[in-house]
């Protein structure tokens, strides 16, 4: 406040300063941008430990791009990549640059943000594996693996794939789609920041450790 000059017997008169607008305060936060390229067949998990570590230790302000051109591969490796993507604090962006078949298609759908280039393809199909042991053991393993694969497919691919699509895949049909169809399906899904799968993964804590059934490539 300003005070107007006054005489000996006058009381001070306060005057308001004119409002000169808001003052901006800035805080600069470091942003790290990292890119990985999943090219070729998915190999054993030990070859991807650097990717796992980067995803697990990233900050909320970090951007991690995963560029995909892969025919798929080891199912367990793909699941570990996806679980680390969902647990990551970073904003994970998957980029389809040519093809993403089988497990690579699952990885593509697990990003917080999905980018599709022209002339690309996705392909979904059921798992393939080999079994050994007594007949009863093989039947138990087939049942366990089939149930597991159905749950994984439903959790990762819904709502991009309809329940009818998933049913056909589980029955042995291959589902192919090009860039135009991929974009059409993605357009039906409203963007909401982090994917519901990521939010659910952060909110859910496993009660106990489990050992998944062994699966082969694709």
Are 93 and 63 a contacting pair, CB within 8 Å?
yes
DSSP labels for 94-147?
Answer: EEEEEEEETHHHHHHHTSSEEEE-TT-EEEE--------S-HHHHHHHHHHHHH
- Express each pLDDT in 144-160 by its tens digit: 777 888 999 999 999 99
Residue 72 included in any domain: yes
Range of the domain at 173: 31-194
- pTM, two decimals, is 0.76
Average the pLDDT over 56-70 and give the result.
97
The candidate with the shortest Cα–Cα distance to 85, out of 109, 103, 68, is: 109
pLDDT at 20: 75
Q: What average pLDDT does the chain have?
A: 83
Q: How confident is the model at residue 142 (pLDDT cuts 50, 70, 90)?
A: low
Residue 121 included in any domain: yes
Asked whether residue 118 carries a pLDDT value surpassing 80, the answer given is yes
- Express each pLDDT in 46-62 by its tens digit: 999 999 999 999 999 99
Identify the CATH number of the domain in which residue 155 sits: 3.90.226.10
Helices (H), the chain: 49-57, 75-87, 103-109, 135-157, 163-170, 179-187, 196-203
d(CA 75, CA 34): 24
Residue 199 included in any domain: no
Are 85 and 111 a contacting pair, CB within 8 Å?
yes
pLDDT at 6: 59
Residue 35 included in any domain: yes
Residue 125 included in any domain: yes
- Express each pLDDT in 177-206 by its tens digit: 999 999 999 999 865 444 555 655 555 544
Residue partners of 71: CB distance under 8 A and separation at least 6: 40, 41, 99, 101, 102, 104
Residue 207 included in any domain: no
The candidate with the shortest Cα–Cα distance to 115, out of 51, 68, 162, 165, is: 68
Q: How many of the other CB atoms lie within 10 Å of CB of 50?
A: 9
The DSSP H or E segment spanning 175 is strand 175-178
Cα-atom radius of gyration of the chain, to the nearest Å?
A: 27
Asked whether residue 73 carries a pLDDT value surpassing 90, the answer given is yes
Are 68 and 94 a contacting pair, CB within 8 Å?
yes
What is the count of structural domains for the chain?
Answer: 1
Q: Helix 163-170 vs helix 135-157: angle between axes, to the nearest 10 degrees?
A: 150
């Amino acid at each position: 406040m300003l005070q107007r000059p006054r005489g000996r017997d006058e009381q001070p008169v306060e005057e308001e300063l004119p409002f000169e607008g808001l003052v901006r305060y800035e805080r600069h936060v470091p942003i790290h941008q990292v890119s990985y390229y999943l090219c070729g067949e998915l190999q054993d998990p030990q070859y991807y430990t650097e990717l796992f570590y980067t995803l697990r230790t990233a900050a909320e302000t970090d951007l991690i791009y995963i560029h995909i051109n892969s025919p798929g591969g080891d199912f367990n490796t793909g699941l570990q990549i996806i679980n680390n993507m969902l647990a990551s604090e970073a904003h994970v962006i998957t980029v389809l640059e040519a093809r993403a078949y089988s497990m690579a298609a699952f990885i593509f759908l697990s990003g917080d943000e999905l980018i599709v280039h022209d002339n690309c393809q996705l392909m979904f199909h059921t798992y393939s594996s080999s079994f050994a042991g007594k007949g009863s053991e093989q039947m138990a393993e087939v049942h366990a693996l089939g149930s597991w694969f159905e749950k994984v497919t439903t959790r990762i691919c819904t709502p991009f794939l309809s329940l009818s699509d998933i049913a056909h895949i589980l029955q042995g049909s291959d589902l192919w789609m090009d860039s135009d169809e991929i974009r059409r399906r993605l357009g039906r899904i409203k963007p909401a920041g982090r994917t519901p799968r990521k939010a659910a993964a952060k909110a859910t804590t496993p009660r106990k450790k489990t050992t998944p059934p062994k699966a082969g490539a694709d």
